[in-house]
Amino acid sequence: MTERDSVAKRVTVVGAIVNVFLAGLKGVVGYLTASVALIADAIHSISDLASDVVVYIAILFGSQEADDNHQYGHRRYETLASLMVGLLVIVAGLGLGYEMINRIQDNSSWTSPGHMALAAAAASIIIKEILYHYTHRAGAKHNHTLLQANAAHHRTDALSSLVVFAGLIASEFGFTVGDLAAALVVSFMLTRVGLKIVYEALLEISEAGVDSDTYALMVKTIRETGGVVDMHLLRTKTIGGEIYAESHAQVNPYLSVTQGHEIAHRIVERVENVVPALKELTVHIDPEDDELESPQLPNCSHLEQKIKQIWSSHHESSDLLAVTLHILHSGVEVVLRVASELDDSKFQNISEEITSLDAISKAEFVSLR
């Protein structure tokens, strides 16, 4: 298990312990003081606890290595868990809202809970705000979207406790419906956060790309890599907070395969340095821009076979050391590496025969002389 997953598990366990304590505290005090808002806030903490459980299970599954059925790993479990967390929050918010609207219409349920409820709400604000910062920092440091979603849930709980505190203060000054009004606001806050979490999870499930700033940074980094002439395609997607991407980079068409391979490696290294969330980048090396025009490529194996047959009709096959084909939009350029002791008087005839083949536009000969 990676450090990222170990940290996520530890933070989630701490959050779960805190939520058990707060749910119990607010539930008991809410019952003793007849504070509907505090009981609503306790339900919020219980939904936080449920999300902690879901997050923990998702981390256990998501941290598993890739296998035959999941070549990209199991991070999608984290996305599904985020979706479940969001749905739980929405259900809790809508349920609370419905109940509070009914209670507000019945003025016999308007009460002033007292100082004990105020103290419990104040304690919840402080504890949940500390838990939010603890979780958010860990999520941001390790780019863990599921932790960040859970942190947002903690922040909402802190804000809901703040609303409850304000409602209880109002009830102390004679506005007895304040307790119920605070509970209603909490329900709206819960629903809003749940919708946000669900929206972001659905974006990831639908394989939406990275944000515009990250995309622009990746494009800039690829284009500024030494040896890259231009780049004309970049596709991205995220899985459990990790970025997977593919790009087409244009290089000098006369580079060797090994040079192109080295440039591709440098592109990946440079992008990894500026985008820590990058998990995998596949770079396709292009000799020319084929985004708008992509002509049909000739069969290089057949061409090479014909070129060797032409050569064999003039010289020994062993005197032809290598055949290099440059496949360009303007045609195929052929470079023949030949033995240094050969008389080049016959090269002109060979060149004419080779360039008479379909798709070949040029032929040249090189040796160690």
Cβ(116)–Cβ(32) under 8 Å?
Answer: yes
Q: Is 238 helix (H, G, I), strand (E, B) or coil?
A: strand
pLDDT at 117: 80
pLDDT at 55: 75
pLDDT at 67: 65
Which tokens is 238 given?
């995220």
The per-type count for the chain, helices as H runs and strands as E runs, is: 10, 6
Going along the chain from its start, the domains and CATH numbers come out as 3-205 (1.20.1510.10), 212-286 (3.30.70.1350), 300-366 (3.30.300.30)
Handedness of CA 38, 40, 46, 52 (dihedral sign): negative
pLDDT at 239: 74
For residue 231, list its beta bridge partners. 249
How far, in Å, CA of 16 to CA of 348, rounded? Answer: 81
State pLDDT tens for residues 313-346: 888 888 888 888 888 888 888 999 988 777 777 7
Query: Three-class SS string for 139-157?
Result: HHHCCCHHHHHHHHHHHHH
pLDDT at 107: 58
Chain length of the chain: 369
pLDDT at 211: 86
Report the relative pairing of strands 320-328 and 278-286 from DSSP bridges.
unpaired
Q: Which residues of the chain have pLDDT under 70?
A: 1, 62-75, 99, 103-114, 174-180, 240-241, 289-295, 369
pLDDT at 65: 67
Give the rounded distance of the alpha carbon of 13 from its chain centre. Answer: 24
pLDDT at 247: 93
pLDDT at 281: 93
